[in-house]
Each structure stands twice: as structure tokens, then as C-alpha cells.
Structure 1
Amino acid sequence: MRTRLFLALVIGCSASAAVFAQAPGHTLTINVSNVRAAKGRIHVDICTQDKFLKDDCQWAGEAPARLGTTQVVIRDLPPGQYAAQAFHDENSNAKVDRALFGIPKEGVGFSNDARISFGPPSWKSAVFGHNGQNATIAFKLRYFLGRSGPPATK
């Protein structure tokens, strides 16, 4: 009798663990505004401090660019301190195109709307805390060449 009870308990716990492991994780929704054209994709990286401003952040997402605001969703982001870095890949070549002196030709943006002046922002200005639950952050893209944002509506 004890053996059956023990087996039932072990099987029940294993099944619960399997269901828990397969349960969908929480999401971080990023609302990227000031998108100037419904062309290409909006790419967002979520970076730890050691990966910030690099190309190999562990979490990334993208969505087709929508004029005005584009929403990008990152799934299963564990609790921690992160910074988001985004760009408008207008020509869908999976990189930020640059002009003379490294000035981005495509829109770029960072969490907390961290300032971009004579170079990228600091980690301190872009960092945000994530508690592992569903959350939403928002920031805008900045374009340094060409028109500066969505066209005015009449």
C-alpha cells in the first residue's frame, strides 16, 4: 500500500512539474513609437549589462514596422536588470546601416528614452528592472538622417 501511495505521489509530482515546465512564460511588451514608415521591421534586443550595445543579447524580438507605434513582444524573460536597444531595419538587412562617422541611417532607440548625444547612451540611463511578470515598456525611435518621424496627418 505504501509503495502504491509513493508511486502515485511521484507520478503526480512529475506530471505537475511537466505541466509547470511547459506553461507559457510571462511576456515583456515593448511599444516602440515614432516609427516613420511601415517598411521593414522593428528589431528589439533585451540586454544584460555585459551585452548592452553589442549584437549578441540573449533575448530579441521583432515585428513588421507600423507607422507610428510598433509593438514587439519578448517571451520568457526572467527577472533581472536589463536595457532595451531597438532599431528600424527599413531595408530588412538585419543590421543598423550607418553613414559617415557611424551615424545611424535608420531609427534607433533605447529603454527609458535614454539620450543619444555624440554616441550611444550609458547602461545607467537605459536600465530597467523586470520582475518576471507580464510587463510593458515604451520608448521612441530617433532618426538622425532624413525626416525625423511619422509624417503629419491632415
Structure 2
Amino acid sequence: MLLLVAMGNLAWSLSAKANFNGKLTVEIDGLKNKQGQVCASIFASSEGFPSDRNRGLQKQCTKITDTPLPITFKNLKAGSYAVAVFHDQNNDSTLNSNLFGVPSEGFGFSSNPEILARAPKFSEAAFLVAGPDTNIQIQLKYF
């Protein structure tokens, strides 16, 4: 009987932890300058990742005050997420690109996947939020 009570308490404890509202702090490094802002979007699935910010779970743009620049997302359930960021140097809230579609502003993704001829898939940028405070770093890339 004591064992059943202990197992029940453990199960309740684990489920209570899974129902937390977590906070993610993204530290963005590698900014070429302090012009403009950094825009970040967090996605809970591959739908819209990485370019359709409106399909993300949350999005925000932050004026560059420090480097590295921290951006925080709140009220996240336990699970798998991916973050896409870009250095919006001209404050138009768009990742600008040249005639060939190559980004002309800095960009980056969670898990810092290698960027070759395409944007990463959700699975290549995914990370796990499994506690009340999660911290990740994203290194911006410029072409």
C-alpha cells in the first residue's frame, strides 16, 4: 500500500512538472552592428518554420541595446520548439534578400544548424523545453 501511494505521488509530481509554463531565454550573438532590431519567432511545429512568422507560436522584435542580445519567450509548455531570428537592420520587420534570394541581413536558428543551400528543417533546429527556465544561444550568420 505504501508503495502504491509513493508511485501515485511520483506520477502526480511528474505530471505537475509537465504542466508548467516555462520561460525561454534566447541569447543572440554575432551581431554585425547595433543598427535596427532583432526579430525572433518561436515555432512549436514545422508548420510555417522558419519563414512564416505569422504561423509561429510567438514573435517579437527587440531594439539592439547589448551584444549578445537576450530575447525571452514566456508561457511555454514542455515540448519541442525551434526559433528563427534575423537582424532587421532597416527596421522593416522583414528578412531582406538579394535578387537570388540570399539574405542580405543576418539570420540564425536554434541549435545553430549548418546552413548550405536552404533554410533548416524544423527537426534540424529543434530543442526541448523541459523545465521552467531554458536558455539557448543563436549565432547569427551574414552572407
What's the TM-score bracket when you normalise by the shorter of the two chains?
A: 0.7 to 0.9
Contact 1:61 1:73 in 2 (8 A): no
Contact 1:77 1:132 in 2 (8 A): no
SS in 2 for 1:32: strand
Give the alignment of 1:1-154 within 5 angstroms.
Answer: 25-49=21-45, 50-53=47-50, 54-56=52-54, 57-66=56-65, 68-144=67-143
Q: Which runs of 5+ in 1 are unaligned?
A: 1-24, 145-154
Q: Which segments of structure 1 move beyond 6 Å, counting only runs of 4 or more? A: none
Higher Rg: 1
- Across the two proteins, how many residue pairs are aligned to each other? 120
Counterpart-to-counterpart distance in 1, 2:78 and 2:131 = 4
Deviation at 1:26, TM superposition (A): 3.5
In structure 2, what residue type is equivalent to 1:27? K
Question: Structure 2 length normalisation: TM-score?
Answer: 0.77
Deviation at 1:61, TM superposition (A): 2.6
Counterpart-to-counterpart distance in 2, 1:119 and 1:65 = 27
Contact 1:80 1:131 in 2 (8 A): yes
Counterpart-to-counterpart distance in 2, 1:52 and 1:79 = 19
Question: Structure 1 length normalisation: TM-score?
Answer: 0.72
CA displacement 1:23-62 (0-9 Å, x = unmatched): xx53210001001111111111111222312222121233
Q: Which has the higher helix share?
A: 1
Identity percentage over the alignment?
Answer: 26
SS in 1 for 2:93: coil
Q: Answer 1 or 2: higher relative contact order, Cα 8 Å, separation at least 6.
A: 2
Counterpart-to-counterpart distance in 2, 1:109 and 1:134 = 21
Q: Please, which moves more after superposition, 33-42 or 50-59?
A: 50-59
